[in-house]
Structures are given as structure tokens and as C-alpha cells.
């Protein structure tokens, strides 16, 4: 901290205000450009110290890679097939007819829908249940939030054990009399829903905490006024609570949307894209598998660019719709 | 319902919470259970408890746990400290700037909030390779800083706007330079925002999986998450050790969470309620 504060002495910024006090009228004409230059220099110094470091590193490791992704996507880049050639939109045209890509798209959309809806709805119900003051309810809130701070790898390993064909869940089901409990992770028709449930379990606590904060910000007088007007609990929820929860709905939906869309870790650990032909392979999973495992850098980059476009578009649309619902008190 | 049956709400809450907690119980119980008992009785309580699994993980001949822990602590600490300072400065700069191109930079940064890391990882490895930073801790830290700087800037910008600019102007009149104003006046006022940024980024970077897996590479570089991932195969039959490793890897972040719980909730809910 100290070296920074020392370097500021006698800096251009400190000198600027001294200009006008010493200048007289005839001199001002020549001093004006000089002052402008001093102000510019001071602005540049300000930018160089405060703005540039963050922006440069962001440009270097995020913006340049995006530009490179677009560039690679127009080539047949492959480290084991050296002469890199320009192929134009060939990779994108291939994507249109690529069954595997269509599957990945479908898997991602289904998974995202489940992970946006389930924790949102369940989170709201649980938040309504826990919307009371006191130690007990605070402790319960912590219980629901804990999975959020766990690594998705840890969560995935736990659930892989839990959902195993002979795992604790199926044992319990057998004891309850289910003779052939489902193969949660190895049945191609079921695996995607199982993984989506695991992610929903992990994200649930986030929604609970955000909804609880939203509920506790609703002024009590509004509830009282509605009750005096004869509104029952359901009516009060619909007319008072729900509209005022709009900002919480926005946050939960957007966060769930962004994180569900890029699901990778859970897939990698739990199913590795299977069972069968990519039944749980998301776009994020397919991009890295095509790029790093099969070395089709060009093709993988085209997938990445499409994925980026969908992510930005979906988030922007969701934000626009949800923000319009928000009202000011 | 609440007036006639006051016990119903806590009871339902407790049942839902218990059901929700089962997977976490599984880790706790199996960490302290004899390894050969786990396949037969995965859900039984660990009685009598044993420390064999923890000991096995802590005394592994290849020091997997200790190497992973050291790497994770180093990567997380350095990334979070650099990110907090850098994004506080950038957030302050952008929030106070009225020029048009500052708005453009802000937009470019906030777009970064939506970019999935997987979209840029392939070219990132090329960029890092060109700088001889691939498969190094420094390379991973730099990528973390670049990737998470939008989140930091987003939080700090919102917070800076709530600080009256008069405080900074008063300091300027008193002859303080820009850096002095920032460090002595602004940064201390940003403490709540710094707390949220450090907490969130701390947890995210600690738990990060794909970035260390790709950037540190398959060599010696391993963090707690990639360490667990790599031992899944090795511990195919020794579930006790796998659960113990996960328990130990979670312990630091769990302690961090329990100690700072209030700030966690506050940081998370800052935007959920208006005003």
C-alpha cells in the first residue's frame, strides 16, 4: 500500500489545479492547450493505474481467446494434421447435419429447463416453509445452502454412489417392495434426468436463500392491509408476495440459466457423456471432447461459437422478460 | 394452519431438511467407517468410529492430499487477493468515469459474466502456451483473474455508486492524489463489497474443476478437486479413502463458510431485494 501512495507525490494529477491560479489573460491562450495536454496526461495516468491492468488481462485471456475461437472455427485446425487451411463456413454447415451436435443441443436444452424450473419452484416452497425468525429456521437455511459450497466433483461422486444400481437408494426401494428399481445412471432414458436432479439438488439452496431474503423484504403492513381487506393466504401470496418477489425470481432464473447451460463437471464425473451415444453429453462437454480428446480444434471452435451465441442470446432475452416484471415499491 | 398446529411447520421443515441432508450424511458416516463395511452397509452409522480412512489419505506415499491442498490454497489465495484489488480499482474507475468508451468497456466486461469457460478454454491453452505459462500455477492464476474480473467489477461498480462522491472530492481538495484517495477513502468503504467478492470467488476458485484440469494439465499439477477426480479410479474398491479425501478437501471451505455465514447470505441477497 505504501509504495503506491508515495508515487503519487508530484504526479500530473496533483499539478492540474495549479494551472488557472497562476495564468493571466493574455497567457491563457497559450496555456489552454497545455492545460488540455496536462488533463489528458492525468487521465491517461489514471487509466494506466486503475483501468488498464484489469482490462488488459481480461482482453488477453478472455477477449483474444473469443476472437481466436471465431478464427479457428473458420479453419480445419487440428494439431495432428498440420497444414491449417481456411475452410470458410464449412464447420458451421457440418454442424447443421451433425446428429451428435443436435443431440448435445437437445440434452443441453432439456437439462437447462429442468435445472431452471425445479430448484426455482422447490426453492420457493421451501423458502415459504422457512420464512420465520429464530435459530431453528436459520439453521435449516444453512442445511439447504451447504451443497452450494461443495465442489461439483464432490457432489457428483456422492450421488454416483447413492444412485448406483446397488446403491443406498435402490436398496431402500427394494426394502419398500420395488422388485426392479431403475438403473438411474446406466439407463439411457433416465440418466439425463438423474444428472439434472443432482444439479437441482446442489442449486436448490441458492434459490432458498435468495427467496428467503425476498420474502423478508416484503413489508408486513402490506400483508396486514390485504388481510383486513379479507384476502386469504393464497390470495395474499398472489397479490402481494409474488409481485414483490420479482427481483428474486430474476436473480435465481438468470443464475440457474447461466450455470445450467455450461454444465460440464457433473457430466464428466457421473456419466462421462454416456450411457450410449452421448445421452448426457451437453454442449460444454462436447466442445471439450471434440477439441481436446479428438483434436478437431476447428470443428470444436465452431461448436463453441454457437454455444456462446446461444448463451448470450438466452441470457439477454431472459433478463429483458424478467426485468419487465419488476416493480418499484 | 399455523395458529391451530404450531408444531406442524417446524416438523415439516425438519423432515424436508433431513431428506435433503442424506447425501451429506453419507460422506460423514463413511469417512469414519471401516472401509470394508461401506459396500455392505453404506447408510449405517459409523459405530465404532475409526480414523483409519483419514490416516490413509493423510499418509499416502505420493502425498496427493498435501500437494493438492498446497496448490489449492496457493491458487485460491493469490487469485482472490489479486482479483479483489484489481476489480475494486477497475470497478471504481468505471463507476466514476463519464466517458463513452468507459461504458463500452463496462459492456464488454459484463458480457463476460455470461461466457462459459469451456467456450474459450481451447484457445486459452494456446495463448498460455505462447507465453510459456501452460501447465503452471501462474498461468492458472492469471486465467482465474481474467475470467472472474467481470464478476468483481460488477459487484464493486454497484457498490461504488452508493458511496457519495463528495467524500472523494473532499479528499481531493485536501490535496490527496488519486491512489491515496482510493486506498485511504474508497477502499475501506468498499469493505462489504470486498467481503462478498472474496467469499464468492474463494468458493468458486477452490471448487473449480475444469480450469485446473485443463490448464495445470495431467502432470504433477493437481488441486483438491482434480485430485479427487483422479483418485476415483484408484479408489474403485476403497470407498473409505475416497470419502475421507472428499471430507478433507471440503473441510477448509466448510470452515470458511461457517465462519463467514452472515456475509455469505448478505452478499448473495444484496441484489435479490431492491433498495
> Distance of CA A324 to CAs A98, A247, A320, Å?
37, 10, 6
For the CA atoms of chain A, what is the radius of gyration? 28
A119-140 per-position pLDDT tens digit? 999 999 999 999 988 889 988 9
What's the mean pLDDT when you consider all of chain A?
Answer: 87
- Judge whether A80 lies within some domain: no
B188-215 per-position pLDDT tens digit? 999 888 988 998 899 999 999 999 999 9
Q: Say what the pLDDT of residue B270 is.
A: 61
In terms of domains, do A12 and A100 share one? Answer: no
Q: Which residues contact B132 (CB under 8 A, 6 or more apart)?
A: none
Q: How far apart are CA B17 and CA B15, in angstroms?
A: 5
Q: Say what the pLDDT of residue A23 is.
A: 45
In terms of domains, do A35 and A103 share one? Answer: no
In terms of domains, do A17 and A102 share one? Answer: no
pLDDT at B153 over 90: yes
Positions of CATH 1.10.3720.10 in chain B: 62-234
Q: How far apart are CA A33 and CA A41, in angstroms?
A: 12
- Judge whether A186 lies within some domain: yes
Q: Which residues contact A31 (CB under 8 A, 6 or more apart)?
A: A19, A23
In terms of domains, do A194 and A246 share one? Answer: yes
Is the dihedral angle over the CA atoms A33, A38, A43, A47 positive or is it negative?
Answer: positive
**Are B79 and B145 contacting, i.e. CB atoms less than 8 angstroms apart?**
yes
Q: How far apart are CA B62 and CA A181, in angstroms?
A: 40
- Judge whether A57 lies within some domain: no
- Judge whether A117 lies within some domain: yes
In terms of domains, do A182 and A237 share one? Answer: yes
CA distance B58 to chain A (A): 18
Q: Say what the pLDDT of residue B219 is.
A: 63
Q: List the CATH number of the domain containing A173.
A: 1.10.3720.10
All three cell numbers of A247, joined, read 427481483
Q: How far apart are CA A201 and CA A208, in angstroms?
A: 11
Residues of A in contact with B143 (CB under 8 A): 61
A34-80 per-position pLDDT tens digit? 888 888 888 888 888 888 999 999 999 999 999 999 999 999 988 88
Residues 27-86 of B with CB under 8 A from A: 27, 42-43, 86
pLDDT at B131 over 90: yes
- Judge whether A149 lies within some domain: yes
**Are B216 and B137 contacting, i.e. CB atoms less than 8 angstroms apart?**
yes
Contact B114 A258 (CB under 8 A): yes
- What is the value of ipTM here, to two decimals? 0.90
Out of A80-94, A179-193, A217-231, B260-274, the most confident range is: A179-193
DSSP string, B43-96: TS--SS---HHHHHHHT-TT-HHHHHHHHHHHHHHHHHHHHHHHHHHHHHHHHH
CA distance A182 to chain B (A): 19
Four-way CATH pick for B62-234: 1.20.810.10, 1.10.3720.10, 2.60.120.380, 3.40.640.10: 1.10.3720.10
In terms of domains, do A45 and A160 share one? Answer: no
In terms of domains, do A26 and A173 share one? Answer: no
Structural domain count, chain A = 2
In terms of domains, do A39 and A160 share one? Answer: no
Residues of A in contact with B9 (CB under 8 A): 129, 132
Residue keyed to cell 437441482: A200
- Judge whether A152 lies within some domain: yes
Q: Say what the pLDDT of residue B269 is.
A: 67
In terms of domains, do A159 and A29 share one? Answer: no
- Judge whether A266 lies within some domain: yes
**Are A147 and B203 contacting, i.e. CB atoms less than 8 angstroms apart?**
no
pLDDT tier at B62 (50, 70, 90 boundaries)? Answer: confident
CA distance A31 to chain B (A): 23
In terms of domains, do A281 and A207 share one? Answer: yes
Q: Tell me which residue range forms the domain holding A128.
A: 94-325
Residue B204, chain A, CB below 8 Å: the answer is no
Torsion of CA B106, B187, A61, B147, to 10 degrees: -80
Interhelix angle A64-73/B117-130, nearest 10 degrees: 100
- Cα end-to-end distance, chain A, whole Å: 42
Q: Average pLDDT in the A86-91 region?
A: 91
Q: Say what the pLDDT of residue B220 is.
A: 61
Q: How far apart are CA A153 and CA A52, in angstroms?
A: 35
- Judge whether A105 lies within some domain: yes
Q: Say what the pLDDT of residue B209 is.
A: 93
In terms of domains, do A155 and A242 share one? Answer: yes
A274-306 per-position pLDDT tens digit? 898 889 999 999 999 999 988 999 999 999 999
Please name the member of A8, A204, A301 whose beta carbon is closest to the beta carbon of B178. A8
Amino acid at each position: 500500500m505504501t509504495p503506491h501512495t508515495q508515487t503519487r507525490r508530484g504526479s500530473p494529477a496533483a499539478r492540474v489545479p495549479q494551472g488557472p491560479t497562476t495564468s493571466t489573460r493574455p497567457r491563457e491562450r497559450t496555456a489552454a492547450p497545455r492545460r488540455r495536454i496536462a488533463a489528458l496526461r492525468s487521465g491517461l495516468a489514471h487509466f494506466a493505474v486503475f483501468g488498464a491492468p484489469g482490462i488488459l488481462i481480461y482482453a488477453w485471456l478472455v477477449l483474444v481467446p473469443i476472437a481466436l475461437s471465431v478464427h479457428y472455427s473458420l479453419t480445419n485446425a487440428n494439431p495432428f494434421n498440420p497444414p491449417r487451411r481456411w475452410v470458410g463456413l464449412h464447420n458451421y454447415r457440418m454442424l447443421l447435419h451433425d446428429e451428435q451436435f443436435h443431440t448435445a443441443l437437445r440434452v443441453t436444452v432439456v437439462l437447462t429447463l429442468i435445472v431452471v424450473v425445479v430448484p426455482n419452484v422447490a426453492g420457493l416452497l421451501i423458502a415459504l416453509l422457512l420464512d420465520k425468525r429464530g435459530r431453528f429456521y436459520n439453521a435449516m437455511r444453512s442445511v439447504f445452502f451447504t451443497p452450494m459450497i461443495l465442489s461439483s466433483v464432490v457432489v457428483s461422486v456422492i450421488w454416483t454412489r447413492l444412485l448406483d444400481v446397488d446403491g443406498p437408494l435402490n436398496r431402500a426401494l427394494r426394502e419398500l417392495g420395488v422388485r426392479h428399481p431403475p438403473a438411474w445412471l446406466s439407463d439411457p432414458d433416465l440418466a439425463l434426468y438423474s444428472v439434472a436432479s443432482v444439479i437441482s439438488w446442489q442449486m436448490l439452496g441458492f434459490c432458498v436463500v435468495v427467496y428467503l431474503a425476498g420474502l423478508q423484504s416484503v413489508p408486513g403492513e402490506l400483508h396486514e392491509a390485504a388481510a383486513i381487506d379479507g384476502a386469504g393466504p393464497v390470495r395474499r401470496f398472489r397479490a402481494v408476495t409474488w409481485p414483490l418477489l420479482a427481483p428474486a425470481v430474476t436473480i435465481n432464473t438468470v443464475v440457474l440459466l447461466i450455470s445450467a447451460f455450461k454444465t460440464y463437471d457433473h457430466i464428466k464425473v457421473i456419466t462421462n457423456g454416456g450411457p450410449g451415444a452421448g445421452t448426457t453429453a451437453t454442449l460444454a462437454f462436447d466442445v471439450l471432447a471434440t477439441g481436446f480428446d479428438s483434436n478437431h480444434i476447428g470443428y470444436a471452435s465452431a461448436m463453441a461459437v454457437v454455444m456462446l451465441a446461444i448463451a448470450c442470446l438466452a441470457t439477454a432475452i431472459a433478463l429483458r422478460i424478467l426485468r419487465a416484471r419488476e416493480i418499484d415499491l | 394452519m399455523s395458529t391451530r398446529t404450531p408444531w406442524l411447520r417446524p416438523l415439516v421443515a425438519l423432515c424436508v431438511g433431513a431428506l435433503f441432508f442424506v447425501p451429506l450424511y453419507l460422506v460423514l458416516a463413511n469417512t469414519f467407517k471401516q472401509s470394508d463395511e461401506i459396500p455392505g452397509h453404506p447408510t449405517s452409522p459409523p459405530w465404532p468410529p475409526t480414523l483409519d480412512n483419514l490416516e490413509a489419505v493423510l499418509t499416502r506415499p505420493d502425498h496427493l492430499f498435501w500437494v493438492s491442498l498446497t496448490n489449492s490454497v496457493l491458487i485460491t489465495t493469490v487469485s482472490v487477493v489479486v482479483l479483489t484489488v484489481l476489480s475494486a480499482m477497475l470497478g471504481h474507475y468505471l463507476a466514476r468515469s463519464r466517458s463513452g468508451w468507459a461504458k463500452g468497456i463496462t459492456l464488454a466486461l459484463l458480457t463476460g459474466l455470461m461466457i462459459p469457460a469451456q467456450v474459450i478454454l481451447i484457445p486459452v491453452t494456446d495463448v498460455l502456451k505462447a507465453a510459456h505459462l501452460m501447465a503452471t500455477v501462474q498461468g492458472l492464476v492469471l486465467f482465474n483473474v481474467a475470467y472472474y474480473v467481470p464478476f468483481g467489477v460488477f459487484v464493486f461498480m454497484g457498490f461504488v455508486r452508493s458511496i457519495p462522491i463528495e467524500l472523494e472530492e473532499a479528499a481531493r481538495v485536501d490535496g490527496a492524489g488519486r491512489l491515496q484517495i482510493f486506498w485511504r477513502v474508497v477502499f475501506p468503504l468498499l469493505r462489504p463489497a470486498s467481503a462478498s467478492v472474496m467469499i464468492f470467488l474463494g468458493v468458486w476458485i477452490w471448487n473449480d474443476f475444469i480450469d485446473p484440469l485443463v490448464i495445470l494439465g495431467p502432470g504433477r499439477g493437481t488441486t483438491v478437486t482434480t485430485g479427487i477426480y483422479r483418485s476415483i479410479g484408484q479408489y474403485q474398491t476403497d470407498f473409505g479413502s475416497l470419502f475421507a479425501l472428499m471430507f478433507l478437501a471440503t473441510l477448509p471451505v466448510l470452515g470458511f463458510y461457517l465462519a463467514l455465514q452472515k456475509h455469505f447470505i448478505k452478499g448473495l441477497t444484496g441484489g435479490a431485494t431492491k433498495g
